[in-house]
Structure 1
């Protein structure tokens, strides 16, 4: 049986990440408070932002921007969206 974590985004017990998604203390904090579902959703949004905004991960400002967007997403605050992106109807 997989481990669970109380997800800060969804405010409920959900499947935990199997390992820290980032190095260091930040990765440990995310693993302890973010579900696998929320992290996968963040990765999808992050990829969309990188691609649509033509961001370079070599740029330190881009990494700061993405970390800020990640925190906003995980705290259920408004995040930037890729221009022209139309979500699929479920």
Structure 2
């Protein structure tokens, strides 16, 4: 039986991550409050943001921006849109 966690993004009990995805307290917080599904969805969005906005994660401003967007994503707040991205839901409506 897999580990579960009450996911703050989906507000229900879901499969937990296997290990903390980040070091330190922030990683432990994510491990205890974010589901594996929510983390995987964030990884896809994060990759799109980094690529489309050409973020250099060696720069503190870029890392700060990504962490802010991550917090918004997990708290179900609006995140910055990726230029040119069309969600599958939008395609279904066409």
Shared fold (TM-score, shorter chain, > 0.5): yes
More helix by share: 2
Q: Which residue of 2 aligns with 1:32?
A: 32
Alignment RMSD, CA only?
Answer: 1.0
Which residues of structure 1 form unaligned runs of 5+? none
Q: Which residue of 2 aligns with 1:85?
A: 85
Q: 1:33-84 CA deviation, whole Å, 9 max, x = no partner? A: 0000000000000000000011101111000000000000000000001111
- How many residues were matched structurally? 90
> Which is greater in Rg?
2
> Aligned ranges for residues 1-90 of structure 1 at < 5 Å?
1-88=1-88, 89=91
Which residues of structure 2 form unaligned runs of 5+? none
| TM score, norm. by length of structure 2 | 0.92
| TM score, norm. by length of structure 1 | 0.96
